[in-house]
Amino acid sequence: MPPIPAPQTYRVKSFGCQMNVYDGERMGELLTEQGLSAAAEGADADLVVLNTCHIREKAVDRVYSDIGRLRREDGSVPLIAVAGCIAQAEGEEIMARAPSVKMVVGPQAYHRLPGMLAEAVAGRRAVDTDMPAESKFDVLPRRRRSGPSAFLTVQEGCDKFCTYCVVPYTRGAEISRPFADLVEEARRLVEAGAREITLLGQNVNAWAGEDEKGRAIGLDGLTRELAALPELARIRYTTSHPNDMTDGLIAAHAENPKLMPFLHLPVQSGSDRVLKAMNRSHTVDSYLKVLDRVRAARPDIALSGDFIVGFPGETEAEFAETLSLIDAAGYAQAFSFKYSPRPGTPAATMDGQIAPEVMDERLQRLQAAINRDQFAFNRASVGRTCDVLVERKGKLPGQWLGKSPWLQSVHFEADVAIGDIVSVELATAGPNSLGGRLLVPAHA
């Protein structure tokens, strides 16, 4: 491959989970530090980074079709880098299948992107899917920009090995970032304008560290420390594992007013047999008991979850148990997926793979139940007064969009600015959002 002109502009396109969104932002910061600038909305970029997700087959197909379609207005192909979990899992295959891809970098090695870029410019394709001993977090630039709501990865990887899931293979073993580094990154995000920080991890509630006095602390201790940052108004965390909901974290929901009343606690199935086959290491009963403890601490908590339909061997009766669990748990929202066999995971070769049309039909019924409960939760919120963090302008003139403490989208008309936290009465409910009325003018 001949040398190419050094790129001047870049675009990072992130797919999948919020941890990928965080990684995508960090790659952007790294490239900015190298002197590149972010391509304007709608404009061509010299370098396109596809920050990919490997969790389901559909996500993988989409990236290959994206690679094929990437063209600039003059017909030329930009410099393409594939990052993220597909890069980790299928690095060499991507290089063989897609000659237009010049760089492939895994989620633990993206801090090496500048060196790889130099290689690509010199005419050499570069692959780095190492899980290096040095931590990318020690090398990434200091954070200088933030919107009102920011992500902060505190924990990465997973040791739980659910039988359907690629995360332990693509993201590696579970690690917790050091306490002092997290407090420092949070402080910088707040200085850069963040009013809300969402702490991220594949099993975020398994985060463990030592405070400045060397005492062992968990996520509750970290949220307590972050709550001391005066300009930080809201703290959230996702995704939690039911087995890692400690008494301390549950108590924090009662004690720490900056910890928002929202909990994303995936369960995957309402059948104990399926949960066991998934290697989830919790039962329906133990999950519901966690919810009881959380609701005792914070009665208004909004519950979210993840579900998989059509896991190998799932019978109609077992699927019906999942619908019953939805009735018992009371979700404010939830994500649901058709089981997708992932190469190399134990479930991919299990007997009893479910036909696609059966999965489609189950997913429809599951989503109908979730949508019903989400709408009911929104309707039950009407009449409440709450703080809303203003995140962006709405579609209509004078309209703004923000989030309630329960992570509902709220739209309202007022004279406010992005980053304001305003008192709003929730007045109307739709299936996916609420309409509100500003109670106290923000700029009186």
Which one, of 270, 54, 242, 281, lies nearest residue 160 by Cα?
281
Q: How far is the CB of 345 from ligand SF4 (least distance, A)?
A: 9
Question: Given 3-state DSSP classes, what are the helix, strand and coil percentages for the chain, each rounded to the nearest 5?
Answer: 35, 25, 40
Binding flag, residue 54, ligand SF4 (CB under 6 A): no
3-state secondary structure of 335: strand
Residue type, 311: F
Q: Which residues pair with 426 in a beta bridge?
A: 436
Query: Angle between the 247-255 and 219-227 helix axes, to the nearest 10 degrees?
Result: 20
Phi-psi region of 4 (alpha: psi -120 to 50; beta: other; left: phi over 0): beta
Looking only at residues 198 through 217 of this chain, which bind ligand SF4 when binding is defined by CB under 6 A? Answer: 202-203
Which one of 303, 308, 325, 332 is in contact with ligand SAM (CB under 6 A)?
308
Binding flag, residue 403, ligand SAM (CB under 6 A): no
- Applying CB under 6 A, the span of 39-47, 162-170, 388-396, 411-419 interacting with ligand SF4 comes to 162-170
Q: How far is the CB of 97 from ligand SF4 (least distance, A)?
A: 26
- Applying CB under 6 A, the span of 24-32, 35-43, 186-194, 334-342 interacting with ligand SAM comes to 334-342
> For the window 232-261, what string marks contact with ligand SF4 as x by the rule CB under 6 A?
---------x--------------------
Residue 104 interacts with, from ligand SF4, ligand SAM, none (CB under 5-8 Å by kind): none
Alpha helices in 256-381 (DSSP H): 272-277, 284-297, 316-329, 356-381
> Which is nearer to ligand SAM, 205 or 408 (by Cβ)?
205
Q: How far is the CB of 372 from ligand SF4 (least distance, A)?
A: 25
Which one of 12, 27, 55, 89 is in contact with ligand SAM (CB under 6 A)?
55
Q: Is there a contact between 147 and 193 (Cβ–Cβ < 8 Å)?
A: yes
> Which is nearer to ligand SF4, 203 or 271 (by Cβ)?
203
- Applying CB under 6 A, the span of 210-218, 224-232, 313-321, 332-340 interacting with ligand SAM comes to 332-340
> For the window 223-242, what string marks contact with ligand SAM as x by the rule CB under 6 A?
----------------x-x-
CA separation for the pair 21, 361 (Å, rounded) = 31
> Which is nearer to ligand SAM, 258 or 342 (by Cβ)?
342
Binding flag, residue 346, ligand SF4 (CB under 6 A): no
CA separation for the pair 4, 1 (Å, rounded) = 9
3-state secondary structure of 365: helix
Pull the structure tokens for residue 57: 């087959």
Query: Angle between the 179-191 and 219-227 helix axes, to the nearest 10 degrees?
Result: 30
Which one of 67, 158, 290, 429 is in contact with ligand SF4 (CB under 6 A)?
158
* Angstrom distances, CA of residue 133 to CA of 130, 137, 175, 271, 343: 9, 12, 12, 40, 26
Phi-psi region of 310 (alpha: psi -120 to 50; beta: other; left: phi over 0): left
Binding flag, residue 342, ligand SAM (CB under 6 A): yes
CA separation for the pair 80, 252 (Å, rounded) = 44
CA dihedral over 106, 108, 112, 114, signed as positive or negative: positive
Binding flag, residue 17, ligand SAM (CB under 6 A): yes
Q: How far is the CB of 278 from ligand SF4 (least distance, A)?
A: 8
CA separation for the pair 252, 261 (Å, rounded) = 10
CA separation for the pair 426, 388 (Å, rounded) = 10
Binding flag, residue 165, ligand SF4 (CB under 6 A): yes
Q: How far is the CB of 266 from ligand SF4 (least distance, A)?
A: 7
Binding flag, residue 167, ligand SF4 (CB under 6 A): yes
Residue 342 interacts with, from ligand SF4, ligand SAM, none (CB under 5-8 Å by kind): ligand SAM
Looking only at residues 403 through 442 of this chain, which bind ligand SF4 when binding is defined by CB under 6 A? Answer: none
Which one of 168, 248, 341, 394 is in contact with ligand SF4 (CB under 6 A)?
168
Q: How far apart are the first and last CA of the chain?
A: 62
- Applying CB under 6 A, the span of 34-42, 271-279, 336-344, 359-367 interacting with ligand SAM comes to 336-344
Binding flag, residue 167, ligand SAM (CB under 6 A): yes
> Which is nearer to ligand SF4, 11 or 241 (by Cβ)?
241
204 by Cβ neighbours in 10 Å (0-12 / 13-18 / 19+) ranks as buried
> Which is nearer to ligand SF4, 55 or 326 (by Cβ)?
55
3-state secondary structure of 86: helix
> For the window 173-212, what string marks contact with ligand SAM as x by the rule CB under 6 A?
-----------------------------xx---------
Binding flag, residue 56, ligand SAM (CB under 6 A): yes
Binding flag, residue 165, ligand SAM (CB under 6 A): yes
Which stretches of the chain bind ligand SF4, using CB under 6 A?
Answer: 158, 160-162, 165, 167-168, 202-203, 241
